[in-house]
Amino acid sequence: MKWKIHHSAETASTNLDARGGKPGDVFTAGYQSAGRGRLDHKWLSPPGASLLMSVVLDVGGISPERIATLPLAVGFATLEALRRYAPDISLKWPNDILRSGRKLAGILCELCGNHAIAGIGVNVKSWDWPAGIQAAALDGPSTEETRDAILDRLAGVFESWREGGISPFMDRLAACDALKGKQIEVMRIDGDPEPFSGVAEGIAEDGALVVSGEKVYAGEVHIGTVG
Ligand code: BTN
């Protein structure tokens, strides 16, 4: 995969910029005035503190079942790339990267016709995060180095994912699973929205999180029980 970088000093959201892109295009920005996260959350970052990157991927001809596992594959590629800077990282289903239990990176995958837009935000430098945000940063590599490390890893992971979904990564996914064996609370968005608690048993080959024997395909997870 050959990547083509399009950088702007400031934009609303690189995921919006990427809607006009083609496969292999990578949109980055120094600052986003309307950075978006999963489930209508915001991605906040002062200028230069985060890697803000959206990658356009060709998912034409791939089944919807496999496409549903793409966010996990992108999370896995990001984790593998960042491990050299931060060995203490793990993947919180579906695709948050945690460093010592605090959020280091987040991923927002969106579909746009035959393209998937993989939006990746990484806290490269620490800043004065708003109260209540449990975040961590790399505090080592530059934004450009972080970008290149992720793109390098993503190229290989995306090719294997196109061929075999997340099957080739199952063992390595299990090894970096932040939730496995923990008591968690889940807010489903693929079923009954009433929060429920259970023990995370791991990630299934179809991308679901298995919680006390039940498969969850979309939702938000809190470790422990929310009061
Ligand atoms: C999340 O943790 O909820 C996902 C955060 C994704 C943030 C990235 S930053 C680059 C790209 N552009 C956006 O507006 N969002 C993603």
Domains, in order of start, for the chain: 4-175 (3.30.930.10), 183-223 (no CATH)
* 8-state DSSP, 190: S
> How does residue 226 score in pLDDT terms, banded at 50, 70 and 90?
low
**Tokens matching residue 213:** 């024997």
**Tokens matching residue 50:** 């985060």
Percent of the chain scored above 90 by pLDDT? 87
Comparing 13 with 133, the larger pLDDT belongs to 13
- Pocket of ligand 1 from Cβ distances under 6 Å: 13-15, 32, 35-38, 41, 43, 52-54, 96, 106-108, 119-121
Mean pLDDT (the chain, rounded): 94
- pLDDT, average across residues 175-199: 90
Q: How far is the CA of 135 from the centre of ligand 1 (A)?
A: 14
Q: How far is the CA of 213 from the centre of ligand 1 (A)?
A: 31
Long-range contacts of 102-107, Cβ-Cβ distance < 8 Å, separation of 24 or more = 102/134, 102/135, 102/136, 103/133, 103/134, 103/135, 103/136, 104/135, 104/136, 104/137, 104/138, 105/78, 106/37, 106/38, 106/43, 107/38, 107/71, 107/74, 107/75, 107/78
Q: What is the pTM of this model?
A: 0.94
What is the best residue among 108, 146, 151 to mutate for testing ligand 1's pocket, by most ligand atoms within 8 Å of CB? 108
Specify the pLDDT at position 150: 98
Which pLDDT tens digit goes with each residue over 87-114? 999 999 998 999 999 999 999 999 999 9
Is residue 92 helix, strand or coil?
strand
- pLDDT, average across residues 146-162: 98
- The crossing angle, in degrees rounded to 10, of helices 143-164 and 70-82 is 140
Residues in Cβ contact with 113 at an 8 Å cutoff, skipping those fewer than 6 apart: none
